[in-house]
A = this chain, B = another copy of it.
Amino acid sequence: MTDLTQTFAALSDPTRLSMVEKLMAEGDLPAGELVAGYPISAPAVSRHLKVLREAGLIRQRAAGTHRYYAVRPEAMQTIARWTMDHRSFWEGSLNRLDSLLALNPETEDTP
């Protein structure tokens, strides 16, 4: 398993992908806060967090009995870099999405 496949594997579970997005949107959160947000048990959440951590996607910070988790920007950059490494393949293939992505990510696709 390469670094990148491990990253993709970590994001291939809907719960984990959602957790990563939530952590990116809301910043650091303790495990308990994540447990409250998903219809699965605390141990299940704990193991999802372990998978994400071992894949390098999140880091852990201890504060008392709490464990705060945060997404590691480097992991996201690794994915971004991979897509950009192959940009010459997919750019310009469909529409002007490539320029939107590179220059103006918050703009909606113009129909």
A: residues with CB less than 8 A from B are 1-2, 4-6, 8-9, 11-14, 17, 21, 24, 71, 73-74, 76-77, 79-81, 83-90, 93-94, 97-98, 101-103, 105
Q: Return the contact of A90 from the options B1, B80, B87, B98 (Cβ within 8 A).
A: B80
Asked if B103 and A90 sit within 8 Å, CB to CB, the answer is: no
Nearest Cβ in chain B — how far from A7, in angstroms?
8
Beta-carbon contact of B89 and A79 below 8 Å: no
Chain B residue numbers with a CB within 8 Å of A101 are 77, 80-81, 84
Q: List 20 A-B contacts (CB under 8 A).
A: A1-B14, A2-B14, A4-B11, A5-B12, A6-B12, A8-B9, A8-B11, A8-B12, A8-B17, A9-B12, A12-B12, A24-B89, A24-B90, A71-B89, A74-B90, A77-B94, A77-B97, A79-B79, A80-B83, A88-B105
